[in-house]
């Protein structure tokens, strides 16, 4: 057994750790690197390299369907992420700033249920539920997609917010209460500033999860409500060109940008 200098267990000293870690990174990032490389392929094929070109990025930029689907995806993801984060923040405070009681673990499981239940099951359930509402109201707008994405994203926002709350020192909140601060003043001036990194993490995680969701969107969307992932899925069913690689590369850069922003924001806050 590998032991570090302080006498504890150190997994990095285990035999084969470096090989396993390198293999995992290789298996994870090499396919992504290949995707990015072939996004600049001048050939119509995604498997045969012909030469360097940015034609597929230009094609995606000039494709009106791609632009409309991208704008729609961002709109849905933004609204769903904000609503999910607000709901998750209230749920996290309600389940952490209280004494343990019977049924609290059930609430944890209930909030995190979308993480456990297969996404296809949730999609079918939402389809049946929203179909009844559509028949009763005649409404077929984006509200159903926003509601579905919000429900699915709540546990993704809840986990980092709850983790942040559980690791926060209660002394400042207790001191604020001793100084006659109201619950709202205590939350706004003490809890929320300390909780902000967790809120940002939950917001960004929810945004990314909503942005690249396919299964729930495919079941819930009405005609003319294609998002960028469902548009890409439709293109893959018809004809695969490096345009899909170009769109995926932009998705990748967007995700890296979100993670980078969160890193700098959280570093300043902590």
Percent of the chain at pLDDT > 70 equals: 92
Give 155's pLDDT tier (boundaries 50, 70, 90): very high
Return the pLDDT at 244.
84
Give 88's pLDDT tier (boundaries 50, 70, 90): very high
Give 1's pLDDT tier (boundaries 50, 70, 90): very low
Highest mean pLDDT: which of 16-20, 230-234, 240-244? 230-234
Segment 251-262 shows an average pLDDT of 80
CA atoms within a 13 Å half-sphere pointing along the CA-CB vector of 200: 19
**How far apart are the C-alpha atoms of 106 and 97, rounded to whole Å?**
16
Q: What is the CATH number of domain 63-269?
A: 1.10.3720.10
**How far apart are the C-alpha atoms of 37 and 43, rounded to whole Å?**
12
pLDDT score of 9 more than 70? no
Q: Are 126 and 148 in contact (CB under 8 A)?
A: yes
Higher pLDDT, 239 or 111: 111
Across all residues in the chain, what is the average pLDDT?
83
Give 3's pLDDT tier (boundaries 50, 70, 90): very low
pLDDT score of 81 more than 90? yes
Segment 100-120 shows an average pLDDT of 82
Q: How many helices and strands in the chain, by DSSP H and E?
A: 13, 0
pTM assigned to the model: 0.80
Return the pLDDT at 201.
86
Domain boundaries, the chain: 14-53, 63-269
Phi, psi of 156 (to 5 degrees): -65, -35
pLDDT score of 266 more than 70? no
């Amino acid at each position: 057994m590998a032991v570090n200098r302080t006498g504890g267990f150190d997994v990095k000293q285990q035999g084969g750790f470096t090989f396993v870690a390198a293999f995992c990174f290789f298996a994870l990032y090499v396919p992504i690197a290949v995707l990015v490389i072939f996004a600049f392929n001048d050939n119509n094929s995604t498997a045969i390299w012909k030469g360097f070109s940015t034609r597929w990025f230009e094609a995606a930029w000039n494709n009106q369907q791609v632009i409309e689907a991208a704008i729609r995806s961002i709109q849905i993801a933004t609204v769903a992420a904000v609503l999910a984060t607000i709901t998750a923040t209230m749920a996290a405070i309600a389940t952490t700033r209280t004494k343990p009681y019977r049924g609290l673990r059930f609430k944890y499981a209930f909030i995190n249920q979308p993480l456990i239940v297969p996404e296809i099951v949730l999609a079918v359930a939402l389809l049946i539920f929203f179909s009844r509402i559509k028949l009763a109201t005649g409404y077929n707008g984006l509200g159903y997609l926003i509601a579905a994405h919000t429900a699915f994203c709540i546990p993704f926002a809840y986990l980092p917010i709850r983790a942040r709350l559980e690791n926060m020192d209660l002394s400042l909140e207790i001191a604020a209460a001793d100084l006659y601060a109201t619950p709202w003043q205590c939350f706004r001036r003490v809890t929320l500033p300390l909780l902000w990194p967790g809120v940002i993490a939950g917001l960004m995680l929810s945004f990314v999860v909503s942005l690249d969701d396919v299964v729930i969107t495919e079941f819930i969307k009405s005609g003319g409500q294609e998002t960028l992932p469902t548009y890409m899925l439709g293109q893959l069913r018809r004809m695969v060109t490096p345009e899909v690689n170009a769109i995926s590369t932009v998705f990748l850069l967007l995700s890296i940008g979100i993670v980078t922003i969160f890193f700098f924001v959280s570093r300043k806050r902590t």
